[in-house]
Structure formats: C-alpha cells, structure tokens
Amino acid sequence: MGIFDFLTGEFIDVIHWVDHTRDTMVSRFEREGHEIKYGAKLTVREGQAAVFVHEGQLADVFTPGLYMLETNNMPILTTLNHWDHGFKSPFKSEIYFVNTTRFNDLKWGTKNPIMLRDPEFGPLRIRAFGTYSVRITDPAVFLREIVGTDGEFTMDEISFQIRNIIVQEFSRAIASSGIPALDMAANTGDLGKLIAAAISPIVAQYGLTIPEFYIENISLPPAVEAALDKRSSMGIAGDLGKFTQYSAAEAMTAAASNTSAAGGGMGAGIGAGLGMAMAGQMGHGGPWGQAAQAAPATHAAPPPPPVEHVWHIAEAGETKGPYSKAAMGRMAADGALQRETLVWTAGQDGWMPAEDVQELAQLFTVLPPPPPQA
C-alpha cells in the first residue's frame, strides 16, 4: 500500500447523526472549519433527512440511505475546484440533519377566555385546551423559513408560534360554529378536524404538518358552571318541597349526633325525634306528621313560589294546597274558605286568617249598600 492510499483512507469521513433527545428538530453536523472531504460517507437513518448547504446555498436534500459525497451523485459538486489535489481537497459545506418523526403530546390552550354568542346562554366566555403532534414534511422549507443557521433547533423554539396559530384558528372556528356550549363536548371530534384543516395551510408554509389534533376540554367560567350545577341539582331533586323537608331532617339528625358527650344521649334522642317528625310531615300521616303540621312554627321553609302566586290552607291539623287565587275565590264563594281560615303563602310570616290578608280579603262577599230612594 502506498503512502497516498494510506493517507486517503485515513481521511475518509463518516457523517451521521444519532439523536439522544426527544425534542431536537434540526442538528448541524459539526466539523472544524465545516470541511467535508471528497468521497465522505453520509448515513441518513429512518426518521431523518439531511440537508446539504454549500457556500450558503441549499444544494440537496437526502432521504434515508447511504451516500458517497462525490461529483457523480451530487451535481452541485461539479462546480467545485481543486478535486485534482493529491488529498482530494476538502470543501467547506454544511450538513443539517432534520428529524422527520412525529413530535407527540404537545400542549395547547387558550391563555384568555374566548368570547362567543351562544344560542342558548347568549354572550359567553369559554376556555379550552388539548394536545397535538407535529412533523416536518419539507426539510428544505423548514430550514429556509425557520431554522436558518441555528446549529441546534428544538421543538420549544417553535411550539409557542404553533400554539398561537392553533388558538387563533380555534377561536375563529368555535365562534362561527354555532354549536351550543352544552353540546360542544359531544362535538370535540368534529371541531378538532375542522380546526386541523384550518391550521394545515398555515403550518405548511413552515414545512410542517399537524397529523393529530385533539380537544381535551372546553370549560365555562366558574360562575356559569356553578349556576349549571345548581340547575342540575334542582332537576334531580324533583319536588323541591319534599327535598327541603328531607334536607332539614337530615341536618337535625346530624346536629343531634354531634352534641357534647355530657348531653349526647338526650341530644341524639331529640334529633331522632325531630327527624321522625319531619319524615311524618312529608308523608302527611301518623301522629308525628299531624303533630308537626299542627305547629306551624316548626315547619321547614316552604319551596320557592312558582310562577303563579299559590296559597296553602290549614284545616283539621293538615295542610292543604297549594291553591291558585282563582281557586281560592271559588272556595270563598262556596263557603269552603272562611274569613278565619288560616292561610299561608311564600314570603308570609306564619299563618294568618284569610280576612287579614289584603290579597284574599277582597274575595269575601261584602253586602252592598241600600239602593237609592226611588
């Protein structure tokens, strides 16, 4: 072997890149002086692409495979000089390795609430967050538009820009969709596809694509959520009067069980008795129910009034009703409602005779004055 062959073998380059991180998108192959020897071997692995830059110009993009950097497979090198030198003179170029795999589980979210006009609730503010994945599909465009001469480019350096694009398109899509807030959870899949389609043309200008986009949650302001929870609780409770009585009995029983050790037995007995009394009142039967109804002062707060003003009547130790004002008028005409009959309605302080209630006093027949002299 001659000295020339020995030196030529010693100076053969092997150019490759192994990524030991999870967020590196582009890495430049570092060589002192950026000198790459003629005939160097370039290894591009699956999930990578190599971008060859010569004298500041993007010359070629290599897909996965093994390449020999020679003039016969790199047309750009045919313009280089001094290849007839004894050591196959190196040329000053740069090789950027581009990670073309997916970058998954990237987060996005609305920094500020999005204003929209909900068809059910009217003006409304919502927040949303989710995940997405991104992949480089055009290494040349990505290098030219985003990376530039950065020797190591990570996902963090562009994720903020992508999040801004996502939030902008999400705000536009959600505001124009016309989907009620209560139905958005059932349509997150369709919304995600709609938003991904709107984002794709924008990120394509960066050489990127969004293969996956997910909306994990769409939330309302805390005050609106509290109102919805209360509305749902009212629907589950059903008869609010019975629900209120049941809650009061539970509270009394709990209070009796938390009394001090000295009077614990007596307190427990009293609490149990009160709970049974309330339960009897709910069923309108038994001695406890009748005793509780006979003592209006121990009644629990009545349910909220419905749209129509209604009245309750106390008769023979029982509460009857509710009756509308029209029904009360008929009862007054039939004699079933007397002036001394005890009545109660929401907002009234205890039971009162019907004649002392201004709204009912007018229902009782008042004898007309004598007719005028003929």
Q: What are the residue ranges spanned by the domains of the chain?
A: 3-99, 103-224, 240-298, 310-361
* 6-10, 129-133, 211-215: the lowest-pLDDT one: 6-10
Residue 203: pLDDT over 80: yes
Q: How is the chain split among helix, strand and coil, in percent rounded to 5?
A: 40, 25, 35
Fold agreement (103-224, 310-361): no
Q: Which residues pair with 130 in a beta bridge?
A: 108, 215
pLDDT of amino acid 83: 40
Does 201 or 70 have the greater pLDDT score? Answer: 201
Residue 71 or 92, more confident: 92
State the average pLDDT over residues 150-174: 90
Q: State mean pLDDT over 261-280.
A: 51
Name the helix (H) or strand (E) containing 320.
strand 318-324
> Given this structure, which CATH class describes domain 103-224?
alpha beta
* Average confidence (pLDDT) over 67-88: 51
Lowest mean pLDDT among 13-22, 78-87, 200-209, 321-330: 78-87
pTM for the full predicted model: 0.55
Sheet (strand 65-68) strand order: 14-15, 41-44, 65-68
Taking a C-beta distance cutoff of 8 angstroms, is the pair 259, 273 a contact? no
Q: What is the mean pLDDT of the chain?
A: 77
- Of residues 57, 166, 173, the one with CA closest to residue 106: 166
Q: Is pLDDT of 281 > 90? A: no
What is the mean pLDDT of the segment spanning 274-290? Answer: 51
232 compared with 88, residue with greater pLDDT: 232
Mean pLDDT of the region 186-192: 86
Q: Give residue 100's pLDDT.
A: 94
Share of the chain above pLDDT 70, in %: 71
Q: Which CATH superfamily is domain 310-361 in?
A: GYF domain (3.30.1490.40)
- Looking at residue 299, its pLDDT comes to 59
Distances (CA, A) of 203 to 98, 104, 137, 211: 17, 16, 10, 11
Of the ranges 52-66, 218-232, 297-311, the best mean pLDDT one? 52-66
Q: What average pLDDT does the segment 196-221 reach?
A: 91
Does 276 have pLDDT greater than 60? no
- Regarding predicted confidence, which is higher, 213 or 290? 213
Q: Pick the most confident of 77-86, 105-114, 171-180.
A: 105-114
Across 337-363, average pLDDT: 85
